[in-house]
Amino acid sequence: MTTEPGIVSESGAAVPAAKGSRLKQNGRQESWLFAGLCRAAVWFSIAILIVLLVAVTKNSIGWLDWQFLTSFDSARFPQKAGILAGLLGTAWVIGLTILFAVPIGVGAAIYLEEYATDNWLNRLIRLNLANLAGVPSIVYGILGLTVFVRMFGFFGPQGILYRWTGWELNGFFWSEHYQQYLIPLPFGRVVMSGALTLALLILPVVIIASQEALRAIPASLRHASLALGATRWQTIRHQVLPASIPGIMTGVILGISRAIGETAPLVMLGAMTFVYFAPGNLDSLSDVAQHPEGLIKAPFDTFTVMPIQIFNWVRQSKEEFKYVAAAGIVVLLAILLVLNGLAILIRNRYSKHLHW
């Protein structure tokens, strides 16, 4: 099964038109009972969603304010705690994740849909994709921890490289301002490690959604373009890809919103809990102007993200932190709702207007 839970194909089988009102009148009692049970299951799901949203929002009242959005964390004073470090951290991590995941994901989908023939390699790739989508996120965390954060213990003062060759490599581009390498090796617990890990995590989602979008484009479009003398790539670049952008966008947005809420892999990477700074110390645009090298430093700086801050607040023993956590959750959910809404909007808009 290649369908992600979030992505629902609108082009399913036709809904049975028969309302069965007359059948209902003649029907037996179990029929009513069963229908009621099924209806209850749907309403239960919706009720849970509403209860969850209301409960969390109620806890956040009085704690979610401008100060919360614009200040850094505080371990001692819940009243002063803020989510700014998480917001900026999430922005950096997700920005880089998009940069890696979208080109690779869409590229892979194009290969699988437009180029791949039915040979063993391509069958393996497809089978593998379905399995990757089912790997628990925490396993990706271990992958990221070993490959990106520690780099198998290859670099660094006591690394394998040093022991074998006597040559110590700790990073590139020494920065006087930060008194650190701008790009350290191994990466360590930095934004880049998190972004690469999350990119691998959402890659199956992006690929599968993009494949579906490409598949929805009728063959006649390709044939027309090819018949006019366009090459395969020109056909894809100028005809197929533009036509499938809405579908791809929907998949990408759903993948991104999954990455934003993902906590476990980043906890495994060792993203820090109480963080009192933004990546690269870039709190505002004037900082960027003063220290442009911070833009290179930021992807290789330690970080936190919103869900990790929430997790950290939940773990605190002080009672007030649970309200801080609720405020954080409301901010996170608001961002996710906007993204999800956007995805649904794009899908509905284009599924209505495009008829091949």
Partner 1 sequence: MSLRRRYTAFRFREQVIEGLLLLCALVSIATTVGIVLVMLSESVFSLGDGKAFFQEISLTEFFGSTKWAPQFADKHFGVLPLLCGTVLVAGIAALSGLPIGMLAAIYLSEYAAPKFRRTVKPFLEILAGIPTVVYGYFALEFVTPYVLRPFFQGLLGFDVDGFNALSAGLVVGIMIIPMVCSLSEDALRAVPRSLREAGYALGSTKYDVSVKVVLPAAASGIIASFLLAISRAIGETMAVVIAAGQSPVMTLNPLKSVQTMTAFMVNISLGDTPAGSIEYRSLYAVGLTLFCMTLAMNILSQWWMHRFREVYQ
Residues 137, 143: Cα–Cα separation, whole Å: 10
Among 61, 123, 152, 174, binds partner 1 (CB under 8 A): 152
Nearer to partner 1, 146 or 290 (CB): 146
Q: Angle 84-110/241-261 helices, nearest 10 degrees?
A: 140
Residue closest to 56 by CA, chosen among 328, 352, 257: 328
Written as one string, the DSSP assignment of 152-213 is GG-SSTTSHHHHHHS----EEEEETTTTEEEEESS--SBHHHHHHHHHHHHHHHHHHHHHHH
Residue ranges in 51-80 that form contacts with partner 1 under rule CB under 8 A: 51-52, 55-56, 59
Nearer to partner 1, 216 or 333 (CB): 333
Nearer to partner 1, 115 or 174 (CB): 115
Give the bridge partners for 184, in sequence order. Answer: 171
Decide if residue 349 touches partner 1 (CB under 8 A): no
Site string for partner 1, 248-287 (x = CB under 8 A): ------x--xx-xxxxx--xxxx--x--------------
Residue 295's contacts (CB-CB under 8 Å, 6 or more residues apart) are 280, 282, 288
Site string for partner 1, 186-215 (x = CB under 8 A): --------------x--xx--x--------
Residue 189: CB atoms within 10 Å: 20
Among 80, 333, 338, 353, binds partner 1 (CB under 8 A): 333
Decide if residue 239 touches partner 1 (CB under 8 A): no
Which residue in the block uniquely carries the two structure tokens 């809405």?
A: 246
Question: Could you tell me the end-to-end alpha-carbon distance of the chain, in angstroms, rounded to an integer?
Answer: 26
Site string for partner 1, 286-325 (x = CB under 8 A): ---------------------x--xx--xx------x--x
Decide if residue 172 touches partner 1 (CB under 8 A): no
CB 173 to partner 1: min, Å: 26
What would you measure as the largest C-alpha separation in the chain, in angstroms?
87
Residue ranges in 96-115 that form contacts with partner 1 under rule CB under 8 A: 103-105, 107-108, 110-112, 115
Q: Cα-flanking dihedrals φ and ψ of residue 190, to 5°?
A: -120, 170
CB 295 to partner 1: min, Å: 26
Among 67, 70, 128, 290, binds partner 1 (CB under 8 A): 128
